Chain A
Amino acid sequence: MPRQFAYYPGCVAEFSSKELNATTKALAPLLDIELLPMPQATCCGAGDIAEAKPNLYLTLNVRILSEAEEMGADILTICNVCTLNLRRANKMVREDPRLLEQVNGELVNAGARPYRGTIDVTHLLWYLATEEGLSLLEQRGPKGLGGLRVAPYYGCQLLRPSSVMGFEDPDRPQSLERLITALGGEVADYDGKTRCCGFPIILAREEVALRESHVALAGARDAGAQAMVTPCPLCHLAMDAYQRKTEQLMGEEYAMPVLHLPQLIGLALGLPTQTMEFKRHFTSVDEVLQTVGA
C-alpha cells in the first residue's frame, strides 16, 4: 500500500519551477508515495501576506490544513516556505483552542470546512531522510550518483525557527548529507549551507538579496562542488535563475548547476532526464549528467 499524502506543491513549483513538480510526480510511485491533489488549496501567502494581513494569512493556511483533513491525509510539501507557513499556522491553532475557534468561525462563515487540528505537515526531504526513507531508497537499488560532489543547500525556512520546524538541528543539519551519501554522491561541505538565498527580497532589494546568495554560491564553489542541491524552489530561483546577476554584481564566476532535491534522487534512481526538465534550468547541468552517466 503506498503512503498517501495530500500533495501541496506550492505556487512556485506549479509554475515558475514546473520541473520540480513534474519530477516529484514522476518520482512518487518509485518511492511508494501516492500524491493526492488539493484542488481547493490556495497560496500559503509566504511571509508576504503575513506581513500585510496576519489574520487573513492564518485563516488561509488553516483552510488548506482543513482540506487535507477532509481528505484524511497528512500534507507533503516540496517547498521550504510552504512548509514553514503551513506548520506555523498549524502550531498556532493547535496550541490555542480559542484562536482555532475564532479561525473556524471565519471559515464556516465563508462556507469552508472547520479544522479539527489533526493534520501534520512534512517536507519530502524529511520523509525520505528518516531510517525508513533511506532504506526505501536502498531497496529501489539506486544506480547511484557516480561520486558526484554535491553541496547541500538547506536555505532558511526548513530549519528555522526550530520551534516550528524541529526535524533536525538547525545549525548542524544532516538530512541532505545523508541522502547525498545514500545515493552514491559525495558531500561538499561548506558554511553557507544554512544561510539565506535572499529570495524573499529579491524584487524589492535586489542587491542585498544577491549579496546573500553569493555567500552560499561561493561557499559551494570553493568546497569543490559539481552541483548544489536544494529542497526549495525559491532557493533554486535565487541560486539558478539569478546566478548570472550575482556573478555580475560580485565580479565572480560560480558556474554552479543547482538541482532540485527530487531531481537528485531521480538521477540516482535512473528517472529519464527529459522527465526532469533540466532544459528549464539557467545554469547548464550537462556536466552533472555526464558524471552520473544519465
Chain B
Amino acid sequence: MASTTFRVFRFQPDSGDLESYHQDFSLDHEEKTTVLDALLRIQNEQDGTLAVRYSCRSAICGSCACKVNGKTVLACMTQVEEAKAESGSSTLQVDPIGNFAPIKDLVVDMTSFWEKFKAVKPYLIPDGPAPQKERLVPKAAMEKVAKESACILCAACYSECNSLAADPEFVGPAAFAWGYRFAADERDAQRKNRAKLYSGQHGIWDCTRCMFCNERCPKGVDPRDAIEKLGAIAFQEKVTKDKGARHAKAFLISMRTGGKLNEQLVGGLTDPVGGAFNAPLALRMLQKGKLPASPLTHRVKNRDQVTKLIKNVKETI
C-alpha cells in the first residue's frame, strides 16, 4: 500500500463560487494505481462533486488529459508512484489542461479545440466520382501518415503550446497533425487548397517550434514534425506568400549565396516593407554590429558541394 496527497484544482462556478482553489485529498492506494483511478476513488469515497472527464481508461478516448505536477499527461496512463518519483514530490498537484478555460474542476471548455479541428477539413476530399470498390492504397503511402493517424485528440499538445498561449486563435498542433494526415494522403485531391488553407494568419507559420507538443504527445504523433511537413507541402505547391514561408525561402537563398545564414538577406526578404526590422530596431542592430554590412559575407569552403546539393536533392514529401 502507498499513500499520496492529491492537491486537486477545484472550480465550481455553478455553486456561485467564481474563485478557483486547490483542495488536498489523502488517499491510501495500491502501488500500481493510475492518477485517474485515484481521482475516481476520491470522487466515490470523499467528494462526489469532483468533476473529472474520462471514458476509456486505456489511453484511447483522449478525454482524461490533465496536468500532474505541472506536466500534461493522460491521467489513465500515468502511475501515481511513477509521477511522484519523476517529480521528486510526495504530493501530486492535479490541474486542468492549460490554454483552455475550466468549466468545472478538471473539466475544461474544449469548444475552440473542436472548431479548429473542423476548420482543417479533417476528412478525405477525393476528386471525381466514387469508385465501384474501395480505394486501395499501397502500404508505403500509408506509412507516410501513420504517426499522425494515431492522434486521439486529447489536447495534451494544446495544453502547453507556447504559440497558443500567446495567440488563442493559433490553429495549433493536433489540428495540423490531422491536416497533414489528409494533405499527404494520396487519395485526397486538395493538397494545394489545403496548403493555402493552413498557411494563413494563425496557421502553420505561427508555430514557434517550442517542441512542447512533440514532448507531451502520449501517442508519439509528433505534431511539430507534421507542421514542418505541411511547410514542405506548401513549398511544393508553391504556396509561399506568407511571411513565414518567405522567411524559410530567405534561408534557402542565404544558403545558396554563401552556405550560411545571412541576417541582412533574411530580414530583408522576409519582410521588405517593415515589420520586425523596422527603422529604430534595425538602426540599433546596425549600431551594435548585429547586421552585416553586405549580403555577400559568409562563404564556406567547398561551397560548390552545397550548390550541387541544393540543385540535386529531391524532396519526397
A110 in contact with B301 (CB, 8 Å): no
Contact B312 A209 (CB under 8 A): no
Residues 64-98 of chain A, each 1 if its beta carbon lies under 8 Å from chain B, else 0: 00000000000000000000100000000000000
Q: Are A109 and B308 closer than 8 Å at their CB atoms?
A: yes
**Cβ–Cβ contact B289 & A18, under 8 A:** yes
Q: Are A112 and B302 in contact (CB under 8 A)?
A: yes
Docked-complex contact B165 and A215, CB < 8 angstroms: yes
User: B38 at interface (Cβ–Cβ under 8 A)?
Assistant: no
Residue-wise, chain B 205-246 has the 8 Å CB interface mask toward A (1 for contact) of: 111111110110000001000011101100100000011111
A241 B285 Cβ-Cβ under 8 A? yes
Question: In the complex, what distance in Å separates the CA atom of A11 from the CA atom of B254?
Answer: 11
Interface size class of A (residues with CB under 8 A): 35 or more
Q: Does any Cβ of B come within 8 Å of A272's Cβ?
A: no
- B-side contacts of A63, CB under 8 Å: 305-306, 309
- A178 surroundings in chain B (CB, below 8 A): none
The residue that B215 contacts in the complex, of A112, A160, A209, with Cβ under 8 A, is A160
Question: Do B312 and A49 have beta carbons less than 8 Å apart?
Answer: no
B309 and A59 contact, CB distance less than 8 A: yes
- Taking CB atoms, residues of chain B closer than 8 Å to A159 are 211
Docked complex Cα distance between A111 and B305 (Å): 6
- Docked-complex contact B290 and A16, CB < 8 angstroms: yes
Residues of B within 8 A of A109 (CB): 308, 312
Task: Give the contacting residue for B208; candidates A15, A41, A198; CB below 8 A.
Answer: A198
CB-based contact A49/B301 at 8 Å: no
Asked if A118 CB lies within 8 Å of chain B CBs, one says no
Residues of A within 8 A of B (CB): 11-12, 14-18, 39-43, 45-56, 59-60, 63, 84, 106-107, 109-112, 156-157, 159-163, 169-172, 195-196, 198, 200-206, 208-209, 211-212, 215, 237, 241-242, 245, 280-282
**Known interface pairs A42-B300, A110-B309; 16 further A-B residue pairs with C-beta atoms within 8 A, sorted by A's residue number:** A15-B263, A43-B255, A51-B228, A54-B232, A106-B312, A112-B309, A156-B210, A157-B211, A160-B212, A170-B215, A196-B162, A198-B162, A200-B208, A201-B163, A204-B247, A281-B288
- 26 A-B residue pairs with CB within 8 Å: A11-B260, A14-B260, A14-B298, A18-B289, A40-B302, A43-B259, A46-B251, A47-B228, A48-B248, A50-B231, A52-B232, A52-B249, A52-B252, A54-B315, A54-B317, A56-B309, A60-B306, A157-B211, A161-B211, A169-B86, A172-B87, A203-B243, A208-B208, A209-B208, A237-B290, A280-B290
